[in-house]
Chains A and B, each alone.
Chain A
């Protein structure tokens, strides 16, 4: 049971957190033909866009209501309306996802009310679905923004179903993907679900929009993602698989609207968590056995664990990440005997934090991360690319995980879920350990070096 600790400093040094609106924007990008729209000043959007582009190495459509001082004080409904109008004119998106920012939330606008009025009046907006999520920067981080956006999509686009009329498709399941899943990870989960003869609807589906591909045309919207038809069809699914505690809200909403039962998987990394996921898939598909390919993958994971445990046992590791990712990675490593000596996270709004296998979970920044990891004698750092400075100063290896990863290519291809992903994760850790080449020397043990007269080359020259 981890204790949640708030460090007592006013100054935040080297933020670990990305903002909530950015998380919302990313979730919206997992919907087909979408443009996320920030309700805030243009800088809010520019920073978030640069951040996303640096991570994905893709053009990212992201727009702003371009609030200025006057419109902030008088209210930004007109700005929202104008922005939607311009977006439809320019890119004709099927979906516009609006995220509020600290600026408009400080003033406190009733955007849902205004939006309702606008949509009611502007019949020319009919062909575009518009969703709004409240995501002030001053409350929570990327994971929270993502969760609010998915909840908003469910609340706006999944039809309410009368329980008597409910006619579920027993082969169709919903997969609510948390913000910590990469496109490759979504794909891996989809592969596993399909292996049981089930057809998943993924929301949000980054695996088809930000997977990094060359398409045959240029559009000002997302190039893939969950289709609006599929979002509507989620109400007919037999079951909802929610990955990450942060997806519980959306799963609950979905159940309330369409009576789709759900289960939340706090982690799908590590042998036991994946076993739980597979067990559920077996039950859902009514199969008492798993497909051979999956059984083989599990056998391989066990072998990988056997080979890797020499390197992970008692290994002190520091992790800085959003709660869901922190829980998934630390749980897997702890199960391999590693010690999570430092756990730093971004937002208090998560029930998994107290289950993180560490003495304490610090709600802090990379400044805390660096200090604590140094004090605790961590040997491996796991966090996003900004951790490179801490890694350089502490002279420790850094495994990049989370968002943003801007100094390595292929962030979208990292896969650490399922039997396969866990296997490669264990290899990553074990290989980092092996890359730290340390040859034992006599002085490591307090022994005197070999007598100089024995050596052909005098010691002063040799070194």
Chain B
């Protein structure tokens, strides 16, 4: 590993603003917060994946992946970060390194040529160049290529050094944040900075979640100056250093970026979330308070309270409509982090019973909140193996699973409703209106009449009524060659003596007899 990258990783792991990190011993801290991965039992993306996730929502920039095919070929255009403008971020650009490029060491040259072609064909405001395992292994210097290309073509080329094998997605997030700090933030000055400019870090506007809370900001006259990186423009990110306050949205990964913005540019930050009603209100309150502390007009606080009161009243009224449809239903929540508790309150308020909530990736503070809200820690668990989850659902200990895509099929194959509450979901659940959408999704999943049909027995699950049995088939199927009746003759339970399919019965006779019993009636179609 290049020394620069090694130092960078050591640096981002030593995060004084992170509570978990501070509580560690000196030695533990040195190891960093990445857990060693277990071969054969690892899940989740790599550092490159994490870096790409964090930066790709800069929608007007080009994202060029310097790698053999798989890194981009298997992964492009697979996230739901929404854009209100350019679609360039959805275009998959890669150097698609071939065997010869690697063996002959043509990687750097190919990258340079790729940048040249990209500038010529798309003329983006900036190009993010991602390093990956193979070029890192053979020693391609993407920093040097980016520097040369920036000078030559005048388009900022930002090297993102997060090859997959250095660690997890979380680390990749952090390294992406570092790339922004080193190369982007502070490079452009806003025309009219105001006292109401904020940064929002860690919201990627998945399915438009940022837009669910943006109306609240709009009403308060707060401008999202630096969006890192939901529906972001490159220039916006470059101006982030002029914001008055930073809000870090449910992201431990980018806390380093938030802290460094505070240290380098005096922008105070707070951690908040738009997931859940009380969280949204709390986030708005904190944001307004901090803006006022930094010089905004104090009347902002009153407007903020008025808005919260109005919105909360409205959302509870909207939610009330769902109560009769969801009351008494049992939910298994499998997400993690602060989501372990932030949606619990709303579900409980509507009379739903949360039978378990996972506290993976949750801090001690999160766990305390779970205990407080659920009044016991009996329902807290860390990980649940898919097999166990399948059993819990199959045995109907829960009525619905709310989780991320990974456990989707565990629920569905157990014929249980599932609601996606993780980042890959296709519906936005942020802010006040998002909570209504989420409960709507729960209702829609739970009360679909399909479940009852699917769980009802198959035709062969119940013994057939002996009275309606035709004699067993004999011989072989002419098409499939399958011999007749591995399960025949049918054993007759309590059948009338006249209809047992004895060998002596003439099939034709039996059929005629049965034809009487199967006489069609006008109501036939209603029976099925």
Query: Bound state CA distance, A238 and B67, in angstroms?
Result: 45
- Give the residues from 74 to 88 in chain B that come closer than 8 angstroms, CB to CB, to chain A: 74-78, 87
Contact B110 A83 (CB under 8 A): no
A245 to B414, CA, bound (A): 40
Query: Once the chains bind, are B410 and A218 in contact (CB under 8 Å)?
Result: yes
* A184 contacts the other chain (CB 8 A): no
Q: Does B49 contact A (CB under 8 A)?
A: yes
Q: Find chain A residues with CB under 8 A from B414 CB.
A: 218
Taking a contact as CB atoms under 8 Å apart, the answer to whether B39 and A79 are in contact is: yes
**Taking the complex as formed, is A69 at the interface, i.e. its CB lies under 8 A from any CB of chain B?**
yes
One of B94-102, B142-150, B252-260, B321-329 contacting the partner = B94-102
Query: Of all chain A residues, which has the CB nearest B113?
Result: A10
Would you give the shortest CB distance from A186 to chain B, in whole angstroms? 15
Given contacts A10-B117, A14-B92, A386-B77, A43 and B39 within 8 Å (CB-CB): no
Q: Is B70 touching A12 in the complex (CB atoms < 8 A)?
A: no
B489 CB → nearest A CB, Å: 26
Q: Which residues of the partner chain A approach B64 to less than 8 Å between Cβ atoms?
A: 11
B484 at the interface (CB under 8 A from A): no
Q: How many whole Å from A34's CB to the nearest CB in chain B?
A: 14
Docked complex: A175-196 residues within 8 A CB-CB of B:
191, 194-195
Chain B: which residue is nearest A196 at the CB level? B481
Across the interface, A18 reaches (CB within 8 A) one of B67, B74, B96, B387, namely B74
| Partner of B413 from A85, A86, A102, A215 at Cβ < 8 Å | A215
- The number of A-B residue pairs with CB atoms under 8 Å apart is 214
A226 to B146, CA, bound (A): 50
A22 touches B386 (CB 8 A): no
Separation in Å of the A294 CB from the closest CB of chain B? 10
Tell me the A residues contacting B by CB distance below 8 Å. 9-15, 17-19, 21-22, 37, 40-48, 50-51, 53-54, 58-59, 63-69, 72-73, 79-80, 82-87, 90, 101-103, 106-107, 136-139, 141, 191, 194-195, 197, 199, 214-215, 217-218, 220, 291, 293, 365, 386, 389
A350 to B36, CA, bound (A): 41
B477 to chain A, nearest CB (A): 10
- Can you list 20 pairs linking A and B with CB atoms under 8 Å apart? A9-B117, A12-B92, A15-B92, A15-B94, A17-B69, A18-B73, A19-B68, A42-B42, A42-B168, A45-B42, A59-B386, A66-B42, A102-B134, A103-B165, A136-B99, A195-B479, A197-B481, A214-B413, A218-B413, A386-B92
Q: Which residues of A contact B447 (CB under 8 A)?
A: none
- B73 & A19 in contact (Cβ 8 Å cutoff): yes
B92: chain A residues within 8 A (beta carbon): 12-15, 386
In contact, B40 and A65 (Cβ under 8 angstroms): yes
Q: Which of A51, A86, A102, A137 contacts B40 (CB 8 A)?
A: A86
B37, B73, B92, B121: most-surrounded residue (chain A CB, <10 A): B73
User: A19 CA to B405 CA in the complex, in Å?
Assistant: 23
A19 to B73, CA, bound (A): 7
CB distance from A126 to the nearest CB of B (A): 17
The answer to the question of B72 belonging to the interface, with a C-beta cut-off of 8 Å to chain A, is yes
Judge whether B4 is part of the interface by a CB distance below 8 angstroms: no
Query: A362 to B143, alpha carbons, bound, how many Å?
Result: 33
Q: Which residues on the A side are within 8 Å of B415 (C-beta)?
A: 214
Complex CA distance for A42 and B114, rounded to whole angstroms: 27
Q: Is the CB of B39 within 8 A of A69?
A: no
CB distance from B412 to the nearest CB of A (A): 8
With A102-B133, A218-B387, A218-B390 already in contact, the answer to whether A138 and B40 are too (CB < 8 A) is no
Once the chains are docked, how many angstroms separate the CA of A131 from the CA of B36?
26
Contact between chains at B137 and A107 (CB < 8 Å): yes
Task: Decide if B509 is an interface residue (CB 8 Å cutoff).
Answer: no
* Contact pick for A139, options B78, B98, B118, B390, CB 8 Å: B98
Residues A138 and B68 in contact in the complex (CB < 8 Å), given A46-B43, A47-B74: yes
CB-CB under 8 A for A138 and B134, given A12-B95, A46-B49, A53-B405: yes
Question: Judging by beta carbons under 8 Å apart, are A64 and B42 in contact?
Answer: yes
Beyond the given A12-B94, A47-B49, A217-B390, could you list 10 further A-B residue pairs with CB under 8 A, ordered by the A residue number?
A15-B94, A42-B164, A42-B168, A43-B164, A63-B41, A64-B39, A68-B165, A87-B41, A102-B97, A291-B479
Q: Most chain-A Cβ atoms within 10 A of its Cβ — which of B44, B46, B386?
A: B46
CA distance A82 to B41 in the complex (A): 10
Q: A103-B137, A215-B413 are in contact. Are A68 and B37 (CB under 8 A)?
A: yes
**Which one of A10, A90, A215, A386 has the highest number of Cβ atoms from chain B below 10 Å of its Cβ?**
A10
Q: Let me know if A141 and B134 touch, CB within 8 A.
A: no
B25 neighbours in A (Cβ, 8 Å): none
B93 at the interface (CB under 8 A from A): yes
Cα A74 to Cα B376 in complex, Å, equals 49
Within 8 A of A (CB), among B378-397: 386-387, 390
* Interchain CB contact under 8 A, A10 and B99: no
* 0/1 string, B159-180, CB within 8 A of A gives 1: 0000111111000000000000
Known pairs A10-B110, A14-B91, A139-B98; A102 contacts B75 (CB<8 A): no
CB within 8 Å for A15 and B479 given contacts A43-B164, A86-B38: no
A86 engages B99 (CB within 8 Å): no
Most chain A CB atoms below 10 A, which of B39, B49, B408: B39
CA distance A58 to B412 in the complex (A): 10
With a cutoff of 8 Å between Cβ atoms, the chain B residues found around residue A291 in the complex are 479
The answer for the CA separation of A244 and B99 in the assembled complex, in Å, is 25
Q: Is B480 an interface residue (CB 8 A)?
A: yes
Kindly list chain B residues whose C-beta atoms are within 8 Å of the C-beta of A21. Answer: 70
Q: Which residues does chain A contribute within 8 Å of B479, judged by CB atoms?
A: 191, 194-195, 291, 293
Whether A106 contacts B70 by the Cβ 8 Å rule is no
Nearest-CB residue, chain A, relative to B405: A53
Q: Is the CB of B40 within 8 A of A19?
A: no
Q: Which residues of B contact A191 (CB under 8 A)?
A: 479
**Contact assessment for A46 and B46 in the assembled complex, using a CB-CB cutoff below 8 Å:** yes
List of B residues within 8 angstroms of A136 by Cβ: 68, 99
B164 touching A11, Cβ below 8 Å: no
Given contacts A43-B46, A53-B405, A68-B165, contact A11 B93 (CB under 8 A): yes
Contact A43 B71, beta carbon cutoff 8 Å: yes
Q: Give the 9 A-B residue pairs with the shortest CB-CB distance, closest first.
A: A43-B46, A83-B40, A86-B40, A83-B39, A10-B113, A19-B70, A11-B114, A66-B37, A43-B164
**Across-interface contacts of A47 in B (CB, < 8 A):** 45, 49, 70-71, 74-75
B522: interface (CB < 8 Å) = no
Beyond A46-B45, A106-B134, A139-B99, whether A82 also contacts B69 by CB under 8 A is no
Please, how many angstroms separate the alpha-carbon atoms of A439 and B164 in the complex? 54
Chain A residue at smallest Cβ distance from B414: A218
Are B164 and A66 in contact (CB-based, < 8 A)?
Answer: no
B37 near A42 with CB under 8 A, answer yes
Say how far B3's CB is from chain A's closest CB, in angstroms.
13
Count chain B CB atoms within 10 A of each CB in A22, A43, A90, A293 and give the residue with the most. A43
Chain B residues near A46 (CB, 8 Å)? 43-46, 49
B123-164 contacts to A (CB < 8 Å): 133-134, 137-138, 163-164
Q: Is the Cβ of B75 less than 8 Å from the Cβ of A50? A: yes
Q: Tell me the smallest distance from the CB of A10 to a CB of chain B, in Å.
A: 4
Tell me whether B97 and A15 are in contact (CB under 8 A).
no
Contacts of B58 in A (CB 8 A): none
- The contact string, 1 if C-beta is below 8 Å from chain A, for chain B 13-51, is 000000000000000000000001111111111111100
Residues from chain A with Cβ under 8 Å of B48 in the complex: 43
B367 at the interface (CB under 8 A from A): no
Chain A residue numbers with a CB within 8 Å of B78 are 50-51, 54
Q: Which residue of B lies closest to A214 (CB)?
A: B413
The answer for the CA separation of A139 and B100 in the assembled complex, in Å, is 9
A106 interface neighbour in B42, B75, B102, Cβ under 8 Å: B102
Write out the residue numbers on chain A whose beta carbons fall within 8 Å of the beta carbon of B138. Answer: 106
Most buried by B among A19, A86, A194: A19
Give A128 Cβ to nearest chain B Cβ, in Å: 12
What are the residues of chain A within 8 A of B390 when measuring CB–CB? 217-218
**C-alpha spacing A21/B70, complex, angstroms:** 8
Q: How far is the CB of B435 from chain A (nearest CB, A)?
A: 28
Q: In the complex, what distance in Å separates the CA atom of A73 from the CA atom of B165?
A: 11
CB-defined contacts of A72 to chain B, threshold 8 Å: 133, 137, 165
